[in-house]
Amino acid sequence: MSHAPTHRPDTLAIHAGQSPDPVSGAVMQPIVLSSTFAQSGPGEHKGWDYSRSGNPTRDALERCLAALEGAAHGFAFASGCAATTVILHALRPGDHVVCGDDVYGGTFRIFDKVMRPLGVSSTPVDMTDPARVRGALRPETKLVWMETPSNPMLKIFDIAEVAAIARGAGARLVVDNTFATPMLQSPLALGADVVVHSTTKYINGHSDAVGGFACTSDAATAEQLRFLQNAMGAVPSPFDCYLVLRGVKTLPVRMRQHVASAGVLAARLEAHPAVTRVLYPGLPSHPGHALATRQMRGAGGMISFDLAGGLGASRAFLKQLSIFACAESLGGVESLAEHPAIMTHASVPAEARRALGIGDGLIRLSVGLEDVEDLWGDLSSAFDAAARV
């Protein structure tokens, strides 16, 4: 059971990488907190010697998430940003990355403020036209990096086409699959080399742990990641691994409801007079709708929209919400709303934000699992408050 990749996602989410504890019969994965493991002689051990290098609870999480992504090798990290930083540290000074133009602000900051000073440059590209990726490639391009759907503009990029372009240039494609989750999108099957996640979001799903994950089926890439995971040391605690392992068991069920509720709210937002634009890949009006329909198994639980009335209206809207919390992050059972320009994407320069359309009226929703009519009632009262500004 524990390693059966032929099982379907709902089964894998609950069982992959885990089997009853041989000592006690415990059905749920024990939390092994020990930092070190006794060796019967120098170098003679049961597979674990030190918990930074490997830990039984973390191993179970890594196997489970790798199975969901259809990957041969998985690596858990202390945060999504830690996973990103470690992947990028496989690069060397002089190397170049072609990066999606719309990524999480913290990811942009790693490219701009951590990797660039180390001599790794990157070019942001709107990959909605894959030809732009080809145009940005240089002989020293080693990596292509994309989020799809992107954060926060929910752009959809063609994974298979960009993977083919990257491969043709000898570069690897990394896809941040945080917004879609393995339930809705399988980047490795579409040709990506590495998938990265902030498990803080949908995978854990309960907003009570920060974590990251990277996986690949390429043995050489896996060896590099294994080395860097241990050498750089940005690993999650066994307790956090347990929380994520527990959370991911309901990922398939949660995603079905996130998609259903977001679809209802997106359609109503589009019909609301105070909304000038709705960005949701499930709407036929979304420029990436056809591609999302082909590439994804559901449009996800994230919606961004433009509210008329500028910053004052946006502030009033976000202050009025009572079920949606005004908070960064996403993907939990609870609904969240945020203002990307002030909150999650403040580290993206103002000019770049403007070019992307991240303006004062842009609001991003993470649609949770509460009753959808209650959620619409909450949004409706916030629209009323915004209209009074």
Site for ligand P1T in 269-288 (CB under 6 A): none
**Positions 61 through 100 that interact with ligand P1T (CB under 6 A):** 79-81
In whole angstroms, how close is the CB of 329 to ligand P1T at the nearest point?
4
The residues facing 336 across adjacent strands are 325, 366
234 binds ligand P1T (CB under 6 A): no
Residue closest to ligand P1T (Cβ): 80
Tell me: does residue 303 bind ligand P1T (CB under 6 A).
Answer: no
Distance CA 261, CA 31 (A): 34
| Helices 80-88 & 219-232 angle (0-180, nearest 10) | 110
**Which range of residues in 182-190, 286-294, 314-322, 323-331 is near ligand P1T by CB under 6 A?**
323-331
Least distance (Å) between residue 51 CB and ligand P1T: 20
Residue 329 engages ligand P1T in binding (rule: CB under 6 A): yes
Least gap, CB of 36 to ligand P1T (angstroms) = 27
Told to check if 107 binds ligand P1T by CB under 6 A, we report yes
Q: Does the footprint of ligand P1T cover residue 210 (CB under 6 A)?
A: yes
Q: Does 207 help bind ligand P1T (rule: CB under 6 A)?
A: no
For the chain, the C-alpha Rg in angstroms (whole number) is 21
| Residue with Cβ nearer ligand P1T (143 or 330) | 330
Q: How long, in residues, is the chain?
A: 389
Q: How far is the CB of 6 from ligand P1T (least distance, A)?
A: 29
The pair of three-digit structure tokens given for residue 137, joined into one six-digit string: 């490639």
Distance CA 315, CA 313 (A): 5
Peptide bond into 273 cis (omega under 30): no
- Minimum distance from residue 168 beta carbon to ligand P1T (Å): 26
Binding segment for ligand P1T (CB under 6 A), chosen from 104-112, 226-234, 267-275, 318-326, is: 104-112
**Interface mask toward ligand P1T for 361-380; x: CB under 6 A:** --------------------
Residue 212 interacting with ligand P1T (CB under 6 A)? yes
Query: Among 248-256, 300-308, 328-336, 376-384, which window interacts with ligand P1T (CB under 6 A)?
Result: 328-336
Of 138-177, binders to ligand P1T (CB under 6 A) are: 147, 151, 176
Of 331 and 361, which has the nearer Cβ to ligand P1T? Answer: 331
Q: Does 101 bind ligand P1T (CB under 6 A)?
A: no
Tokens of 91: 């690069």
DSSP 173-220: EEEE-TTTHHHH--TGGGT-SEEEEETTTTTT-SSS---EEEEES-HH
Q: Which is nearer to ligand P1T, 105 or 274 (CB)?
A: 105
Buried b (16+ CB within 10 A) or exposed e, 50-70: ebbebbbbbbbbbbbbbbbbb
- Taking Cα atoms as reference points, which of 311, 380, 317 lies closest to residue 342? 311
- Does position 328 interact with ligand P1T (CB under 6 A)? The reply is yes
One-character DSSP codes across 61-111: HHHHHHHHHT-SEEEEESSHHHHHHHHHTTS-TT-EEEEESS--HHHHHII
Question: How many residues interact with ligand P1T (rule CB under 6 A)?
Answer: 19
What is the helix (H) or strand (E) element at residue 277, kind and residue range?
strand 275-279
As a whole number of angstroms, the distance between CA 187 and CA 181 comes to 10
The answer to whether residue 204 forms part of the interface with ligand P1T (CB under 6 A) is: no
Q: Is residue 344 a contact point for ligand P1T (CB under 6 A)?
A: yes
Interior/surface letters 354-375, b for 16+ CB within 10 angstroms, e for the rest: eebebebbbbbbbbbbbebeeb
Residue 308 CB, nearest approach to ligand P1T (Å): 24
CA distance 147 to 386: 31
Check residue 178 for interaction with ligand P1T (CB under 6 A).
Answer: yes
The residue ranges that bind ligand P1T (CB under 6 A) are: 79-81, 104, 106-107, 147, 151, 176, 178-179, 198, 200, 210, 212, 328-330, 344
